[in-house]
Amino acid sequence: MSTDSRQSDHALSVTGLSVRYGRSITALRDVSLHVADGEVVTLMGLNGAGKSTLARAITGLLPAQGGSIVGGEIESFGTHITRRSARFIVRHGIAQTMEGRRIFGALTVVENLDLGGSSVSGAAVRENRERMLDLFPRLGERRTQAAGLLSGGEQQMLALARALMSSPRLLVLDEPTLGLSPKLVAYVRDTIRAIQAAGTSVLLIEQNATMALSIADRGYVIEHGRIIHEDTAENLRADENLQRLLLGLGSEGAA
Ligand SMILES: Nc1ncnc2c1ncn2[C@@H]1O[C@H](COP(=O)(O)OP(=O)(O)OP(=O)(O)O)[C@@H](O)[C@H]1O
Ligand SMILES: [Mg+2]
């Protein structure tokens, strides 16, 4: 698989991206990364590094947070998507799960899933819904239950299933394993593998480097809004300095 960042058929190609919130907070500085078609790529970094900001910039959700792209470009499968609306981007084939689940607690499991399919036809919604209820049997058993009554892990599964309802070509996952038990982390990992095997590219944002590097093809490390490392997952796994950095013991000491 090519790693040439100029190829226009990449699932995602971010070049020199800078993002600000308001006038004074610069959250991303000259960020470049790419996800080749079919790749799982992980973006790792500590709290406040800019990971969710990058996810929002890709999926069109920055304006809702008071953020704006002040430089650089984002391309996906040959189309410029910089500053396009969230609606355009989901139709283009990019779906995102947000940090902290964000499911609708008063709606049922099925109603939550169907909301994820608003960009595809009614027939595709029904088909994808059944696929998701098969892929996540726990959701299948609770299809008519209010989503707010699901356990934290089940809500996380629902958020992932909802993102898959639009049949995305690229899935952006923002910390999908946060707060999950080891067993559920393993389940999410297997699910991401299955998603990749089905042809969807994945940008996996994680603080759990062990998990992320066990399934990613390549990875990036972000610190204070800048990409500071880029390598194959194999090399990143072997890098002890990196492990320290991601535990918060890196270049700035153990404070
Ligand atoms: N809506 C906002 N308005 C102003 N500043 C923001 C906003 N959202 C994020 N920031 C700031 O931008 C920087 C990057 O935040 P971001 O949420 O992207 O980090 P993150 O890497 O996702 O962190 P975490 O691991 O805690 O989720 C932080 O300094 C944060 O305070
Ligand atoms: Mg975040």
- List the domains of the chain with CATH numbers: 12-93+168-246 (3.40.50.300), 103-166 (no CATH)
| 8 band by pLDDT with thresholds 50, 70 and 90 | low
Q: If pLDDT is split at 50, 70 and 90, which confidence band does 184 have? A: confident
Q: Which atom of ligand 1 is nearest to the CA of 54?
A: 18
The Å distance, Cα 51 to ligand 1 centre, comes to 8
Q: Are 82 and 76 in contact (CB under 8 A)?
A: no
| Predicted TM-score (pTM) of this structure | 0.92
Q: Which helix (H) or strand (E) holds 92?
A: helix 86-92
Tokens read off for 234: 């194999």
Share of the chain above pLDDT 90, in %: 77
Handedness of CA 113, 178, 224, 173 (dihedral sign): negative
Cα–Cα nearest to 227, from 47, 22, 51 = 51
Q: Give 65-105 pLDDT, tens digit per residue.
A: 999 999 999 999 999 999 999 999 999 999 999 877 678 99
> Residue 63: CA atoms inside 13 Å, Cβ hemisphere, count?
7
Q: How far apart are CA 162 and CA 115, in angstroms?
A: 7
Choose one of 19, 43, 51, 61 to mutate for the ligand 1 pocket test, by most ligand atoms within 8 angstroms of C-beta: 51
Cα end-to-end distance, the chain, whole Å: 40
Q: Distance, CA 25 to ligand 1 centroid (Å)?
A: 10
Tens-place pLDDT, residues 132-153: 999 999 999 999 999 999 988 8
Of 31, 53, 65, the one to substitute when testing ligand 1's pocket (max ligand atoms within 8 A of C-beta) is: 53
Which ligand 1 atom sits nearest the alpha carbon of residue 225? 14
Q: Distance from the CA of 69 to the center of ligand 1, in angstroms?
A: 14
Q: Edge to edge, what strands does the sheet with 94-97 contain?
A: 94-97, 170-174, 201-206, 40-44, 218-223, 226-232
Rounded-to-integer distance, Cα 219 and Cα 212, Å: 9
